[in-house]
Amino acid sequence: MDIPIWNNMKEKLTIIKVGGKIVEEPDSLKQLLNDFSQVTGHKVLVHGGGRSATKLASDLGIESKMVNGRRITDADMLNVVTMVYGGLVNKKIVAGLQSLNVNALGLTGADMNVIRSVKRPVKDVDYGFVGDVETVDGKLLSKLIKKGIVPVMAPLTHDGKGNLLNTNADTIAGETAQSLAPYFDVTLIFCFEKKGVLKDADDENSMIPILTPEIFQQCREDGTISGGMIPKLENSFAALNAGVSKVIITLATAIDGESGTVIQL
């Protein structure tokens, strides 16, 4: 795809997606927020919170059911994830960023109708109140961001009919990046507990420095890449195809984008 000349004149925007484990531990959360506050230019933070949801559900006597790493979300579990993602985790992050002079605004997809989803159709598995993203209002988000506001996005969306929907945080990050690509020069960083995409999950030194669709297909076929990394990479390639400038998968302590696996077309 030809990139117009004016693309180079767009303001830079960094979207950082961070896993629940990092935002749920006080020490790692503090480190993350300090690092995030130092990211220059416009920025967005997308977070998870699955372990906290599982713990609260257990405390309330609600069983957590997972299929291929995806949470089955019945009405009771929807209440739990709404409390945890949209409330406890999101507001802790927002309060922490405010203490670092980052003017953060916590958002679910229902707020300002920023992310509209459709309830996932029942096929082999009934996931319940789980949403597949249909639209992200990048124009509205871009106006907020250009006013100096930093969106902190929880993994909840809505269907426009009054229903909240549990939605994968990687997908929210990827779809949000795509929606903002017309307005900014977007870098998308997925960060978690590993240095990047590893050939051997037990060997931190086996990181793949550059991952193309061809390498991804090969690693997927031989089992090197599996599980939750597959949708993360699918979201990465979709984002690049939609105009996102750069996608990196790295450690939560490396959100400066200087290390990790670079995803390329």
Give the residue among 239, 181, 233, 228 at the shortest CA–CA distance from 212: 233
Model pLDDT for residues 101-154, shown as the tens digit of each residue? 999 999 999 999 999 999 999 999 999 999 999 999 999 999 999 999 999 999
State the chain's mean pLDDT as an integer.
91
Burial of 5 per CB tally in 10 Å (0-12, 13-18, 19+) = exposed
Model pLDDT for residues 157-178, shown as the tens digit of each residue? 999 999 999 999 999 999 999 9
pTM reported for the whole predicted model: 0.92
Could you tell me the CA-to-CA distances from 139 to 32, 105, 112, 177, 182 in Å, in that order?
A: 28, 17, 12, 12, 9
State residue 134 phi and psi, 5-degree precision. Answer: -105, -50
Using CA atoms, how far apart are residues 23 and 126, in angstroms rounded to an integer?
A: 29
Predicted confidence band of residue 239 (pLDDT cuts 50, 70, 90): very high
CATH at 259 = 3.40.1160.10
Evaluate if residue 1 carries a pLDDT over 50: no
Tokens describing residue 103? 């003017």
Q: What percent of the chain has pLDDT over 90?
A: 72
Model pLDDT for residues 70-79, shown as the tens digit of each residue? 899 999 999 9
Q: What is the DSSP letter of 8?
A: G
pLDDT of residue 8: 59
Helices and strands: H and E segment counts in the chain: 9, 14
Could you tell me the CA-to-CA distances from 40 to 31, 53, 106, 152 in Å, in that order?
A: 16, 32, 20, 16
Domain span at 238: 5-263
Count of domains for the chain? 1
Sheet of strand 156-158: strand arrangement: 131-136, 115-119, 156-158, 164-166
pLDDT of residue 5: 45
Q: Which residue has the higher pLDDT, 96 or 51?
A: 96
Burial of 4 per CB tally in 10 Å (0-12, 13-18, 19+) = exposed
Single-letter code of the amino acid located at 172: I
